[in-house]
Structure 1
């Protein structure tokens, strides 16, 4: 089985000092780095997804800003694919599917930011396209949401989305379990 690692939107705007700081972003980054090291060591395909928002109402990931840059902890190395997207779904109007098909990839390991938008939409599309999907729970994160005047804490948002993906659209696992699966 050919497996690829997909890192979604691990970009500066989501970290301290960025335009949209997320809950425990550094912790998620640490786990993403662990998985990245494993994939690099095994010379398996790695794809970096970078979001640049073109909507006039966007408040982060703005073209030409420092915030769109990948975090220094996961900078792409030569041979690692970088795919730019403009919507939450990493497959929508990008070359991701064609790239994975060219490598005969059948299984994806996905992590990144934000659990409730980009991870959710990317995982559901990957499943619909027929990929086996593993999501690294501890290498994903999100932020607090506001609904009907109530703040929903980021951890609750994250757990809810991981629970909704697990078993139906993906297998949600901790990064530590990845070593025995790759």
Structure 2
């Protein structure tokens, strides 16, 4: 098994003062950094995914803004590749799948933001590509969701629901500590 970590959309607009602040993004970033350091120290492949909004009416991750930049907690090193995406799926028109497959990577550790959107979509797509996936649930976060009738689903409930739905069929869901203490798959 050859593993790589994929950090998805850990960008400034999702943090305090950003244009789309998420629930406890700072805590998720601490755990993402922990996992990132684990991969760096083990000299295993690291990939970053950065969302840049291009659609009409976009309100965050706008091109050439500080909000679209990768957060300082997980700043890519010069040798780490960054894939820019314009859709929830980190594989869609990015070249990520080709990069991973050409390097013989068959297991992905995924973390980042938002659990209910880009993490969920990417994990399911990774499964379609035949990758084995581990999701670090404490290194991911999301936001409250509002139903058409105005009912609010709290971010914690949204996150836990998506982690539970991915666990088993599409991924193994762990915490960053589990990864760093030997439970790589």
Q: How many angstroms apart in 2 are the aligned matches of 1:18 and 1:55?
A: 19
Unaligned runs of 5+ in 2: none
For residue 167 of structure 1, what is the aligned residue in structure 2?
A: 168
**Are 1:10 and 2:10 an aligned pair?**
yes
Q: Counterpart of 1:37? A: 37
Q: Secondary structure at the match of 1:94?
A: coil
* Superposed counterparts of 1:127-138, under 5 Å: 127-138=127-138
**CA deviation map 1:123-159 (0-9, x unaligned):** 0000111000000000000000001310100000000
Note the C-alpha offset of 1:181. 2.5
Q: What is the alpha-carbon distance in structure 2 between the residues aligned to residue 101 and residue 165 of structure 1?
A: 22
CA RMSD of aligned residues (A): 0.7
Gaps of 5+ in 1: none
**C-alpha distance in 2 between matches for 1:63 and 1:56:** 12
- State how far apart, in whole Å, the 1-side matches of 2:108 and 2:136 are: 11
2: CA distance, partners of 1:57 / 1:125: 26
Runs of 4+ in structure 1 off by over 4 angstroms are: none
1:120-159 equivalences in 2 (<5 Å): 120-147=120-147, 148-159=149-160
Distance 2:107 2:28 in 1: 21
TM-score (norm 2): 0.97
1:87 equivalenced with 2:87 (yes/no) = yes
Quick one: distance in 2 between partners of 1:56 and 1:141?
A: 26
Query: Which residue of structure 2 lines up, in the alignment, with residue 181 of structure 1?
Result: 183
Aligned to 1:20: 20
CA distance in 1, matches of 2:183, 2:96: 23
Q: TM-score scaled to structure 1, two decimals?
A: 0.98
Task: Say which SS state the counterpart of residue 48 (structure 2) adopts.
Answer: strand
